[in-house]
Amino acid sequence: MEALKAGAAKGVKTITGSNLDEWKLFDVMVPSTQVVTEENLAIELSRTVSTQNVSKLIEVYRRALLQRGSPNQPEDILSAIHGDWLFRMPGIRFIEARRANHEEAYAYLFTWQSPALNGFLQACHSLDIGFVFGETDSTFCGSGPDVDKLSWEIQEAWIKFARAGNPGTNNLGIWPLYGEKRETMILGKISHVEDAPLEEERAIWDEIGGA
């Protein structure tokens, strides 16, 4: 990150993004993380951020999950925080470093929900890979015209970016550079551009300096 801030990779255009519920895959892989109480939620998070910021972090994520209609029990809060801490925020830091050096960078957030395990996995880590390569397993990715449409949108954008350095397509529309408004392509059932998605969660990491 320091190298990027100092101007490394000059002239290299980038697309950076993450999945909405990255950590849900690891919740399944490490089942003990699903047994979370308010008490051990705070204990677990104190390993990630300073103790004085734990309650503030929990409050922000609980409110954000509730506002977007997602489960907001202690295990859901921990999963959302882990996903942002290890995936989304490093990606944002990367793209911010690129923007600061006036390099062209594009952002996305993948929101398609997996039907596996009765929907528990949500938009988990690695779910996007099948869509990128046009190999969407029906159990993990789902099936039907919406799956096919999203897979084609992503493949078309990735190919356009490789060829021309701009991922905007006729199907997705204009994909703006990541700028002051934090313009981000939402890749999901209805793909579209949003300014600063999940902004409250992003901003708390800036405030507490933990990611």
pLDDT in tens, 182-201: 999 999 999 999 999 999 99
Residue 210 has pLDDT above 80, yes or no: no
Q: Rounded mean pLDDT of the chain? A: 95
* CATH value at residue 138: 3.40.50.1820
| CA-derived radius of gyration, the chain | 18
When pLDDT is averaged across residues 157-165 and rounded to a whole number, the result is: 97
| 34 pLDDT tier (thresholds 50, 70, 90) | low
Task: State the DSSP H helix or E strand holding residue 193, giving kind and residue range, or none if neither.
Answer: strand 192-195
Task: State the DSSP H helix or E strand holding residue 115, giving kind and residue range, or none if neither.
Answer: none
Indicate the burial class of 157 (C-beta count within 10 angstroms; 0-12, 13-18, 19 or more).
buried
Residue 48, Cα to own-chain centre: how many angstroms? Answer: 19
| Total domains present in the chain | 1
pLDDT in tens, 2-13: 999 999 999 999
- Residue 58 sits in which domain range? 2-208
For the CA atoms of 113, 115, 117, 119, the dihedral, rounded to the nearest 10 degrees, stands at 50
Task: State the DSSP H helix or E strand holding residue 107, giving kind and residue range, or none if neither.
Answer: strand 105-110
Please list the alpha-helical segments (H only) found in the chain: 2-5, 24-29, 38-45, 51-67, 74-83, 89-100, 127-133, 145-164, 199-208
Alpha-carbon gap, residue 139 to 127, rounded angstroms: 11
